[in-house]
Structure 1
Amino acid sequence: MNAIIEVQDVSKSYGGVVANKRVSMTVQAGGITGLIGPNGSGKTTLFNSIVGYHPIDSGSIKFEGREISKMPVQSIARLGLIRTFQQTRIYGAMDCTKNMLISLPHRKMKFLDAFSKPGESDHAKADRLLEFVGLYEKRFLSAGSLSFGQQKLLEFAMALMNEPTGLLLDEPTAGINPTLINGLIDRLKRANSEFGITLFIIEHNMRVIMNMADKIYCLAHGEMLAQGTPQEIQNDQRVVDAYLGTH
């Protein structure tokens, strides 16, 4: 497999606090890559840098071979690299269908097109994806009335409206009722296998990430601590120590 995301010697500081220090990693196209680490290890900072929210201080970030470290968020999204957040970013007063349709402009529409009404094919696509995440029956309910887990499923479906090549998910199972987690995992795996979307996932739930990822990277104190298969990571004493606070 080819690398779809290449991070090389990336450093990022905030007012003297080093969040990432010379981090290097690759995300293979078509796979599921995990990013783990204790709180404050720099995971979210790295995600934000990859998609353009926080420009890096030094290093290189490439997406499909193209340098993106100086590009704004919208330009990176139009290339096909999208991210979701720990706290959902939905429009609570709108129904689910309208949330889906408002997601369209990011990649497919030109600026002037953003003010035109979505067509039948857009509505059909929204319906298909709401069906895919299990929210079709709730499509006319306000997004704010959904449970937190359902709101995460809606945000996932909204991301899929952009037909991303790569999708970065920040704590997709955090705050979700345990009964919904398996359904979410199944849909993430299907998005990877059926739609061919490369997934890059930050996850604290070790059971989830060990069952999903092909390769896992572990950050600690802003630096790359370990990398390998789920089995290798589970058996890496440095990772165990980092989580137990002895690193």
Structure 2
Amino acid sequence: MSALLEVKNVSKAFGGVQANSGISLEVPEGKIIGLIGPNGSGKTTLFSSIVGYHPIDSGSIRFEGSEISKMRVRQIARRGLLRTFQQTRIYGGMTCVQNMLISTSMRDQTLGRLFASQKSGEHGRAEELLEFVGLYQKRHLMAGDLSFGQQKLLEFAMALMNEPRLLMLDEPTAGINPTLINGLIDRLKHANTTFGITLFVIEHNMRVIMNLAEHIYCLAHGELLADGKPEEIQNDQRVLDAYLGAH
């Protein structure tokens, strides 16, 4: 399977702090890839670099074979590369359905498309995706009235609304009721297999990432520490020492 995303020797510093140093990794098309590491290891910085939130200092980021490291966020998003965030980015004063419809502005460059889109069949798709993530009954509630976990599910649905080729998820299970996590894992896998969306996932919950990802990269101190299949990472002493706190 060809690499949909290729990161080669990427480095990024903020002042005197080296957030990423010479990181190389690949996300093959159609796969679910994990990214783990302790707090401050550079995971979110790498995600932000990939989607264009800040320029890298050196290295290369290629999506579908094209260099994207100099592109703006919206240019990258229109190519089908999207991300979610640790802290959700929703519109609390709008209903869930309205949030779904306005999310397509990332694709079409105008917030005014919110109401025009309702006549194009996207309203129905919005409701279908809200049902998919378990929020259909709350579709007319203000998004700001949802729990934090429900807001994360809404953000996931908003990303799906844009039909991404690659969706990067930053801590998708954080803040979600533990009893609902298995259902979220199933939805992520379903998005991958049924919708054909490649997933690149930062996750601190080791049970989740071990059951979700086919290949896992581990960062520590801004550098790539290890990568391999879940069982390999789970038994890698370097990962245990750096991330799991084994002695």
TM-score tier by shorter-chain length is over 0.9
Which residue of 1 is the match for residue 29 of structure 2? Answer: 29
Which residue of 1 is the match for residue 188 of structure 2? Answer: 188
What 5-or-longer segments of structure 2 have no aligned partner? Answer: none
TM-score (normalised: structure 2): 0.96
- Alpha-carbon distance in structure 1 between the residues aligned to 2:170 and 2:123: 27
Which residue of 1 is the match for residue 97 of structure 2? Answer: 97
Decide whether aligned partners of structure 1 residues 21 and 120 sit closer, same or farther in structure 2, where only a CA change above 3 A counts.
same
- Alpha-carbon distance in structure 2 between the residues aligned to 1:157 and 1:11: 32
Alignment of 1:42-53 (within 5 A): 42-53=42-53
- Alpha-carbon distance in structure 2 between the residues aligned to 1:138 and 1:85: 22
Match of 2:58, as an amino acid?
Answer: S
- Alpha-carbon distance in structure 2 between the residues aligned to 1:142 and 1:6: 39
Tell me the SS of whatever aligns to 2:5: strand
What 5-or-longer segments of structure 1 have no aligned partner? Answer: none
Match of 1:207, as an amino acid?
Answer: R
Query: Kindly, what percent of the aligned residue pairs are identical?
Result: 72
Which residue of 1 is the match for residue 79 of structure 2? Answer: 79
Which residue of 1 is the match for residue 168 of structure 2? Answer: 168
Tell me if 1:41 matches 2:46. Answer: no
Tell me the SS of whatever aligns to 2:201: strand
Match of 1:30, as an amino acid?
Answer: G
- Alpha-carbon distance in structure 2 between the residues aligned to 1:62 and 1:44: 18
Which residue of 1 is the match for residue 131 of structure 2? Answer: 131
Q: CA deviation at 1:36?
A: 0.3
Is the Cα contact below 8 Å between 1:149 and 1:180 reproduced in 2?
Answer: no
Is the Cα contact below 8 Å between 2:7 and 2:24 reproduced in 1?
Answer: yes
Q: CA deviation at 1:177?
A: 1.1
Which residue of 2 is the match for residue 16 of structure 1? Answer: 16
Which residue of 1 is the match for residue 106 of structure 2? Answer: 106
Is the Cα contact below 8 Å between 2:86 and 2:170 reproduced in 1?
Answer: yes
Q: How many residue pairs end up in the alignment?
A: 246
Which residue of 2 is the match for residue 67 of structure 1? Answer: 67
Q: CA deviation at 1:134?
A: 1.1
Q: CA deviation at 1:114?
A: 3.5
Q: CA deviation at 1:117?
A: 1.4
**RMSD of aligned alpha carbons:** 1.6
Match of 2:237, as an amino acid?
Answer: Q
Match of 1:5, as an amino acid?
Answer: L
Q: CA deviation at 1:147?
A: 1.2
Match of 2:78, as an amino acid?
Answer: R
Q: CA deviation at 1:143?
A: 0.6
For 1:126-172, what per-residue CA distance to the aligned partner results, in whole angstroms no more than 9, with x for missing partners? Answer: 11111111111111011111111111110000000110000000000
- Alpha-carbon distance in structure 2 between the residues aligned to 1:115 and 1:242: 46
- Alpha-carbon distance in structure 2 between the residues aligned to 1:52 and 1:3: 19
Match of 1:126, as an amino acid?
Answer: A
Is the Cα contact below 8 Å between 1:97 and 1:140 reproduced in 2?
Answer: yes
- Alpha-carbon distance in structure 1 between the residues aligned to 2:210 and 2:135: 27
Tell me the SS of whatever aligns to 1:33: strand
The structure 1 segments of at least 4 consecutive aligned residues displaced by more than 3 Å after TM superposition are: 110-116, 244-247
Is the Cα contact below 8 Å between 1:32 and 1:214 reproduced in 2?
Answer: yes
- Alpha-carbon distance in structure 1 between the residues aligned to 2:111 and 2:158: 21
- Alpha-carbon distance in structure 2 between the residues aligned to 1:78 and 1:175: 29
Decide whether aligned partners of structure 1 residues 12 and 141 sit closer, same or farther in structure 2, where only a CA change above 3 A counts.
same
TM-score (normalised: structure 1): 0.96
Tell me the SS of whatever aligns to 1:54: coil
Tell me the SS of whatever aligns to 2:92: coil
